[in-house]
């Protein structure tokens, strides 16, 4: 089984079957950050991918506590106030084939 198939099977295991241009982090069918975190851990370990340059908050920004302003919250609970960037199946496949996070 090639790495693209492994990535697709892992995505189907955690979420559902997705096309290569589908995004885990944006769109109508984005996944929850908690589920994405578990997926990324298994993705990196099972495919032996160097994820040092991967920034989870780029794709799944912290939403904070919706009803409280950032000024009164500790840093780890504050909202990033960013729009998530797309984390596509294609990006995951390319990085798996390279053995390191490319984006």
Does residue 70 sit within a domain?
Answer: no
The span from the CA of 91 to the CA of 51, in Å, is 13
Per-residue pLDDT, 69? 59
Please say if the pLDDT value at position 98 is more than 70. Answer: yes
Per-residue pLDDT, 68? 56
> pLDDT tens digits, residue range 28-52?
999 999 999 999 999 999 999 999 9
What beta strand segments (E) does the chain contain? none
Instruction: Indicate the number of domains in the chain.
Output: 1
Does residue 103 sit within a domain?
Answer: no
Does residue 40 sit within a domain?
Answer: yes
Per-residue pLDDT, 19? 97
pTM: 0.84
Does residue 86 sit within a domain?
Answer: yes
Does residue 11 sit within a domain?
Answer: yes
Does residue 29 sit within a domain?
Answer: yes
Residue span of the structural domain in which 57 resides:
3-61+76-98
Does residue 67 sit within a domain?
Answer: no
Does residue 50 sit within a domain?
Answer: yes
The span from the CA of 96 to the CA of 46, in Å, is 10
């Amino acid at each position: 089984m090639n790495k693209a198939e492994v990535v697709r099977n892992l995505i189907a295991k955690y979420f559902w079957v997705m096309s290569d241009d589908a995004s885990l982090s944006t769109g109508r069918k984005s996944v929850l950050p908690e589920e994405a975190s578990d997926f990324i851990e298994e993705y990196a370990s099972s495919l032996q991918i160097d994820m040092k340059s991967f920034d989870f908050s780029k794709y799944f920004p912290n939403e904070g506590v919706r009803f409280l302003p950032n000024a009164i919250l500790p840093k780890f609970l504050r909202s990033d106030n960013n729009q998530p960037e797309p984390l596509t199946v294609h990006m995951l496949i390319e990085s798996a084939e390279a053995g390191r996070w490319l984006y």
